[in-house]
A and B are shown apart, each in its own frame.
Chain A
Amino acid sequence: MIKAASIRFALLAAILPAAGGATFPATAGATLPSVVHEKAVLESSRSSVPAGAVLPLDGRDFGAGESYVLRLVGALREYDLGEVEADAEGLFSIELAIPGSVTPGAYQVVAVAPDGDVAARLDLTVLEAEAVAPEGADERPAGEVVHEAAPRVARADEMPIERSRSGLEWGVIGLLIGGAGGLGLGLLRAGR
């Protein structure tokens, strides 16, 4: 079953655009849910934090004495959050600083083991700093500079989007269009 999943991940990795910008350091499979390896647990009292604030984060069932890289992983962006070391019982408890530069959105805090496997994940919503400043202000360490995002201006135009396709994707598109066109003409002739 694991072998089948690996093959599937490898196939997906092959057709993912090369310029997709995926900077996740682990294997291609690690960017996808890999429940087989996720025995550890990340927990927090908060499901959302403003950018620039601090997230109380607890971990359990991690490898005793092992270090884990913490990353904030969203659909489009990833951020390094530093390293954490589990104690002899596989526990840790930290105050995790969410960088003020994080774009608001839906993320996961991901703990990556030394071998590159994802050990645990936690869903987290990062909010705009200024939108929740009064609440978040209590939780920021003294002296920390608050990230104040510039107010967004509504725009009616379209975003510039860098569209890129791999050779395999172009091949699939060409095959589908050409195949449908050819078969369609053939059927029309056959139906005469």
Chain B
Amino acid sequence: MGTRTDPKKGWLEERAALDALDYPVPKAASRWTYMLGGLTASFIVMLVLTGLYLAQFYNPSPIGAHDSVLYILTRAPLGDWVRSLHYWSAAGAVVMITAHLVHVFWRRSYKRPRELTWWAGVGMAGLLFLLIVTGSALRYDQEGFEALAHFVAGGELTGTLGAFFTEGFTRSAPLLARIFGLHTSLLPLLLVGLMGLHFWLIRHLGIHADDEEREVFRTHAIRLVGVSLLAFALVGLLAVVAPEDLGYPPVAGVEITKPFWPVLWVYGLENLLGAWGMILGPVLLFGFLVAVPLLDRRPDDTPGRHGWLGWLALLVGAAVLVLWLYGAFGPARQHLGM
């Protein structure tokens, strides 16, 4: 029995089964606020592609790392631009995932049956946070070295749990090489896995929107790809006009730099609590986000009607903002007993 073909379909349409994308979704999916998650995914794709390129030139040994970053900046073809693209894509992903989390929280889209979707999203946010701090260490300038020292200090503070991050974990590979491995293999794999789960759940549970109007997913996907390409053009321009810099080779025993801006709120907390701040801050914030579906006991899912949970979220958000401002504009302090 031969395969039935449809002469009306295009070559690619038939072979790639593109009509599988023609399932109905709420028209609201193409509103800007509902595209924040898709845009986060697009920035992650940019991060993977630029990261793959950078990894061809990066040397994850302490003795060669800084020189290899300088090599990327000055000699690798398009290296300076691709590295800046990587930086701006990371910044874009952080902005988009934060806005997406706030929007989803506001709409109370984490309510039954979408708890898993929310947790997968929070997991991705946590992984992005870890990717940012591991990526910062790879610079291996003064800022990168201090980030690495924070891993060591955090590892020592948390005992067995954090043993991986201590220099004593193994003598066969330097910590920088292991952080590079985390940044380029384990964390991206987990991120892509959670992204797959997130998308699968959205496909089958649908998005939480009031819109009765429907359109086919393909139309939404075309818009999302269009917006993503515009986002790429924007970060591409930013990478030209505001390229990412590199500090001087590191000197051990001092702490004089501040971290990449998404981590500044943790830095502010460290100013108050010392090294424990880097553990407590992320644990409390992500712990709160994980607990959100369990704390919201109201039976309805009307957007904005969180009750006391809304006030608690506002308090958490305000605390992060104040800590961020303190980290950004407060004094640079030594947090570790280096």
Residues of A in contact with B (beta carbons under 8 Å apart): 12, 15-17, 20-22, 74-76, 104-106, 125, 127, 152-159, 161-165, 169, 172-173, 176-178, 180-181, 183-188, 190-191
Question: Which of B68, B227, B240, B247 is in CB contact (< 8 Å) with A184?
Answer: B227
B199 to chain A, nearest CB (A): 19
7 pairs of A and B residues whose beta carbons are closest in the complex: A106-B64, A184-B229, A187-B226, A181-B233, A154-B251, A158-B245, A184-B230
Provide the bound-state CA to CA distance between A173 and B298, in Å.
52
In the complex, A164 Cα to B75 Cα: how many Å? 9
Given contacts A76-B71, A104-B63, A106-B64, contact A154 B250 (CB under 8 A): yes
Chain B interface bracket (under 10, 10 to 19, 20 to 34, 35 or more): 35 or more
Q: Mark B63-97, 1 if CB is under 8 A from A, else 0.
A: 11001101101110110110000000000000000
**A190 proximity list for chain B (CB < 8 A):** 222, 226
Other-chain contact of B251, A152, A187, A188 (Cβ < 8 Å): A152
Pair B77/A12 contact, Cβ less than 8 Å: yes
Q: Give bound CA distance, A183 to B227, whole Å.
A: 10
Most buried by A among B230, B237, B240, B250: B230
From B219, B226, B243, B256, give the contact of A185 (CB < 8 A): B226
Closest residue to A127 on the B side, CB-wise?
B63
Per-residue contact bits, chain B 45-69, to A (CB 8 Å; 1 contact, 0 not): 0000000000000010101100110
Q: Which residues of A contact B231 (CB under 8 A)?
A: 184
- CB interface residues, B 231-266, toward A, < 8 Å: 231-233, 236-237, 240, 243, 245-251, 253-254, 256-257
Residue of B61, B73, B237 near A163 (CB, 8 A) is B73
| A106-B64, A186-B226, A187-B229 known; A152+B71 contact, CB < 8 A | no
B73 cross-chain contacts in A, Cβ below 8 A: 161, 163
Determine how close the nearest CB of chain B comes to the CB of A124; give it in whole angstroms: 10
Q: Report the nearest B residue to A157, measured CB to CB.
A: B247
Chain B 204-234 interface residues, beta-carbon cutoff 8 Å to A: 219-220, 222-223, 225-233
Beta-carbon contact of A156 and B81 below 8 Å: no
- Please determine whether B223 and A105 come into contact, CB atoms closer than 8 angstroms: no
Contacts A154-B254, A169-B78; A159 near B226 (Cβ below 8 A): no
Taken together as a complex, chains A and B put the C-alpha atoms of A185 and B229 apart, in Å, by 8
Whole-angstrom distance between the alpha carbons of A12 and B254 in the complex?
A: 41
User: How far apart are B75's CB and chain A's nearest CB, in angstroms?
Assistant: 5
Contact at B223–A191, with CB atoms within 8 Å?
yes
> Once the chains bind, are B248 and A184 in contact (CB under 8 Å)?
no
